[in-house]
Amino acid sequence: MKAQSSYHIVIVGGGFAGLYAAKSLRHAQAEVTLVDKRNFHLFQPLLYQVATGWLSPGDIASPLRAVFHRYKNISVLMAEVIDVIPDEHKLVLCDGELSYDTLIIAAGTVPSYYGNDVWVPVAPGLKTIEDAIEIRRRILLAFEAAERETDPDKRNALLTFVIVGGGATGVELAGTIAELARVAIKDDFRSINPTKARIILIESTDRILPPYPPELSARAAKDLTNLGVSIQTEALVVDIQEDMIVIRQREQVKEISAKTVIWAGGTKGTPIGQVLASRTGATLDRAGRVIVEPDLTIPKYPDIFIVGDLAHFAHQNGKPLPGAAQVAMQQGRYVANLIKKRLKGQKLPAFHYKDKGSLAIIGRNEAVANMGWLKLHGFPAWLIWIFVHITYLIEFDNKLLVLIQWTWNYITHKRGARLITGKDPFPIVETYNKSPEKRDSE
């Protein structure tokens, strides 16, 4: 690594928290190194649009080096962090070491299967570009295989899409898959009718979008149902196999034949949280998030900050803040400001989250917005959703193109990026077509 003569701030993770921390440090009297194992910032809230063929990966990803190339005190390092040695102020990378004076960890979360990691291959989660491309591949291949399947039961399983988890990601996935089947590809096939596809949303509590007020949850459920999504509340996943998911709903066990299951059931802190806990004695919550002090440091280590989804911050009203882009951005900015104050020998009061509201999109012209006293749904909420997302995208990387792509898709009902890429599709088509037969004969 290069020699650091001046004060050195290391940020781990280029998500919203890390990006905003780094941006806010661009005029600090310090060297800043942003470490990420990917070379781009990912606009995670729109990842579901890649997974459903609406946008291309490049539309929602900004190369980190391009974001920071003008700020000469900020370096980007593409590397994976393996260990933290707090007493030596040092990070261990996959192929080197990196010293820091102050460390900001913004490493985020990964999908959590609550101990059922055997479900990972049959029910992929949605956290990375590769996840999105894999989910897109499975959805599109299911329609392709259904077009060729003559057995009606197998065909129904191919045309059944189950999304586990009724939070914002699950709702958005269910809504866009419904739109894909009912609008974008409705005339594309000759043997099947894509509009007959079943989209099932599984939620463990008694309503979807649990963090929202009940009236907005009800509205979202109504809109999703109109789009043709079947919502199953109070339903727990018992098992997932290659062509079936088993749920327990109000003491009743149900089997659903489905070839495509997507996991939006929850997240947990990345493994670096555990490493940190074992090295510093910091406490993790049940989801593997690091419990932080009011100033986002960890106990006894005032030079280590945790920000974003990996932080469990419960000093505001006793409940931990949600894993949301808004929280991450505000925490990133706060820590940057605190460090700048410290460098001048000054202090900053505890972090305080300013809730600007939350938004979830359901489909074309449909969204819900919870902004304190103002609760909106339908077209006005949808307009706010578009406006907020475009504003952020442009702030990051001048991604005006996404607006143009959206407008184009909106007018034409097209999906620009409906590609099956990645692995050679044929082993999968064979699995799709042959494994049920095989099982039948067993």
Could you give the C-alpha distances from 419 to 103, 135, 406, in angstroms and in order?
Answer: 40, 11, 17
* Contact call for residue 27 and a copy of itself (CB under 8 A): no
Q: Which of 4, 7, 75, 183 binds a copy of itself (CB under 8 A)?
A: 75
Applying CB under 8 A, does 408 fall inside the site for a copy of itself? yes
Which one among 4, 7, 26, 38 touches a copy of itself, defined by CB under 8 A? 38
> Is 182 or 342 the residue whose CB approaches a copy of itself more closely?
182
Q: Six-digit token pair at 137?
A: 């591949």
Out of 130, 153, 206, 395, the only residue in the binding site for a copy of itself (CB under 8 A) is: 130
Q: Counting contacts by CB under 8 A, is residue 419 touching a copy of itself?
A: yes
Residue choice 5, 252, 346, 398 for contact with a copy of itself (CB under 8 A): 398
Interacting stretch for a copy of itself, rule CB under 8 A, among 69-77, 202-210, 270-278, 338-346? 69-77
Q: Which of 70, 286, 319, 354 binds a copy of itself (CB under 8 A)?
A: 70
Contact flag: residue 425 with a copy of itself (CB under 8 A): yes
Q: How far apart are the first and last CA of the chain?
A: 58
Site string for a copy of itself, 85-124 (x = CB under 8 A): ---------xxx----------------------------
Give the DSSP H/E element, type plus range, for residue 91: strand 90-93
Which residue stretches of 209-283 are H helix?
214-226, 272-280
Q: Is 37 in the site for a copy of itself (CB under 8 A)?
A: yes
Site membership for a copy of itself, residue 185 (CB under 8 A) = yes
Q: Is-contact 304 112, C-beta < 8 A?
A: no
Residue 429 sits in the site that holds a copy of itself (CB under 8 A): yes
Rounded Cα gap, residues 261 and 272, in angstroms: 28
For residue 410, the minimal CB distance to a copy of itself (Å) is: 13
Q: Which residues pair with 199 in a beta bridge?
A: 161, 229
Distance (Å, whole) CA 281 – CA 396: 36
Nearer Cβ to a copy of itself (379/408): 408
CA-nearest of 168, 180, 167, 145 to 55 is 180
Question: In the 3-class helix/strand/coil scheme, how is 154-166 assigned residue by residue?
Answer: HHHHHCEEEEECC
Q: Which residues, in sequence order, are bridge partners of residue 377?
A: 368
Q: What is the DSSP code string of 60-90?
A: GEEEHHHHHTT-TTEEEEE--EEEEEGGGTE
Residue 433 binds to a copy of itself (criterion: CB under 8 A): yes
Stretch that binds a copy of itself, among 49-57, 156-164, 201-209, 234-242 (CB under 8 A): 49-57
Q: Which amino acid does the sequence have at 2?
A: K
What is the rounded CA–CA span in Å between residue 14 and residue 183?
A: 36
Please count the residues of this chain forming the interface with a copy of itself, following the rule CB under 8 A. Answer: 62
* Separation CA 265–CA 17 (nearest Å): 23
Sheet holding 96-99, edge to edge: 81-85, 90-93, 96-99
Residue from the set 77, 105, 208, 227 that interacts with a copy of itself by CB under 8 A: 77
CB of 366 to a copy of itself, least distance (A): 24
Distance between CA 31 and CA 101 in Å, rounded? Answer: 10
By C-beta, is 126 or 237 nearer to a copy of itself? 126
Residues carrying an active site annotation: 172
Catalog residues that contact a copy of itself under the rule CB under 8 A: 1-2, 37-40, 55-59, 61, 63, 65-66, 69-70, 72, 75-80, 94-96, 129-130, 133, 140, 144, 147-148, 185, 187-191, 398, 400-401, 404-405, 408, 412, 414-422, 425-426, 429-430, 433-434
